[in-house]
């Protein structure tokens, strides 16, 4: 939006400044302004055709700043320096905090140098005061604009964290968990040298967690879930992704581990939770985990595929008595036993029973 406004203003203001510079016989600047008007039309057309805004910004902003520097150097009136005030805000809004600061500071430095060259290093007191007013005001605007951009970055990061993280455990939520899987899968499919080639998914469910909520209340249940999440996170590698994908259901993505290593890691996690009860206020609560583990070639599996397979193995661990890890493929009958209750519940919610 800011770029489009700048392009339109360049065209509109060109119809004012070009005749003025022609009348004052500043031919070089007049021709440069005509060229920028035409270039602004071109960039507007490219944007409409799908040119990425970031590329369009760089493509237009750098020539725009060159023409503005030419104006500072050749315009007949000293008042042209007032346009320096625009650059700090414009560069930050178009380029962001880092690139905008680099471009803005570079331009202010060049503008200051042009001022000294234009006045032959010995301007009159009035001229120096006018120019310094412009440059100091531009510097103040740069600092204010930088502070504003920094605050925007901070707020955006906070909002992104809220969107990506589970509010209770501060682990990746289901959306973010899937997003990270898809990013790793895309890198593997593109053959990125540093990309993982294999992925294991561990799906975990706290056994009888509903009883904890029913007996002690949801506040205690939340404390327990936070404590379990911290323990699991402490056992993860830096490259692992731990997320909360359901009420009491947690999941871990492990990259470039074979299935045997993934099973050993799952067993470590299970023992970590069962070995030490959780202290929640005045309550000592013993917990166990049921876990399902599946391993796939990362480039060849979808999120739905690996999640469904691991979920079937988790359910098999529960059928086998809970507090255990299941990492073997399950039978078709076991899969049907996993799916049928959910299907029956869906049918009941619609007001009729399955046969």
pLDDT per residue as tens digits for the range 236-262: 998 899 999 988 899 999 999 999 999
At residue 193, φ and ψ (nearest 5 deg) are: -55, -35
CA distance 91 to 100: 5
Model confidence at 128, in pLDDT bands (50, 70, 90)? Answer: low
Model confidence at 107, in pLDDT bands (50, 70, 90)? Answer: confident
Token reading at 280: 């929640």
pLDDT tens figures, 292-331: 999 999 999 999 999 999 999 999 999 999 999 999 987 7
Q: Which of 216, 221, 189 is nearest to 297 (CA)?
A: 189
Residue 20 pLDDT > 90 = no
E strand intervals along 209-259: 241-244, 249-255
Residue 117 pLDDT > 70 = yes
Residue 154 pLDDT > 80 = no
The answer to whether 46 touches 88, Cβ cutoff 8 Å, is: no
Active site residues: 248
Flag whether the pTM goes above 0.75.
no
With 0-12 CB in 10 A as exposed, 13-18 as middle and 19+ as buried, what is 294?
A: buried
At which residue do the structure tokens 């959306």 appear?
175
CA distance 60 to 264: 56
Residue 338 pLDDT > 90 = no
List domains and CATH numbers for the chain. Answer: 2-164 (no CATH), 174-349 (3.30.70.270)
Token reading at 215: 């007996």
């Amino acid at each position: 939006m800011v770029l489009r406004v700048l392009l339109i203003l360049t065209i509109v203001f060109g119809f004012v400044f070009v005749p003025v510079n022609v009348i004052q016989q500043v031919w070089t600047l007049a021709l440069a302004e005509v060229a920028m008007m035409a270039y602004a039309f071109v960039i507007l057309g490219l944007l409409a055709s799908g040119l990425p805004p970031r590329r369009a910004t760089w493509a237009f902003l750098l020539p725009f700043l060159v023409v503005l520097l030419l104006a500072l150097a050749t315009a007949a009136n000293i008042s042209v320096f007032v346009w320096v005030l625009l650059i700090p805000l414009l560069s930050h809004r178009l380029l962001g905090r880092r690139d905008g600061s680099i471009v803005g500071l570079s331009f202010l430095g060049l503008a200051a140098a042009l001022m000294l060259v234009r006045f032959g290093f010995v301007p009159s007191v009035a001229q120096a005061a006018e120019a310094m007013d412009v440059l100091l005001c531009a510097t103040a605007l740069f600092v204010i604009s930088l502070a504003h951009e920094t605050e925007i970055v901070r707020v955006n990061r906070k909002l992104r964290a809220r969107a990506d993280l589970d509010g209770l455990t501060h682990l990746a939520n289901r959306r973010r968990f899937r997003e990270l899987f898809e990013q790793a899968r895309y890198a593997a499919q593109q053959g990125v040298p540093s990309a993982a080639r294999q992925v294991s998914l561990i799906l975990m469910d706290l056994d009888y967690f509903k009883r904890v909520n029913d007996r002690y209340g949801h506040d205690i249940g939340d404390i327990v879930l936070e404590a379990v999440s911290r323990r699991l996170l402490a056992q993860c590698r830096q490259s692992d992704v731990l997320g909360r994908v359901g009420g009491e259901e947690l999941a871990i993505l492990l990259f470039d581990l074979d299935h045997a290593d993934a099973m050993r890691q799952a067993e470590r996690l299970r023992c970590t939770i069962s070995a030490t009860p959780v202290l929640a206020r005045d309550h000592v609560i013993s917990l166990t985990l049921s876990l399902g583990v599946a391993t796939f070639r990362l480039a060849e599996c979808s999120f739905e595929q690996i999640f469904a397979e691991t979920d079937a193995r988790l359910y098999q661990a529960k059928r086998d008595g809970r507090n255990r890890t299941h990492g073997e493929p399950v039978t078709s009958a076991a899969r049907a036993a996993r799916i049928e209750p959910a299907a029956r519940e869906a049918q009941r919610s619609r007001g009729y029973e399955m046969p």
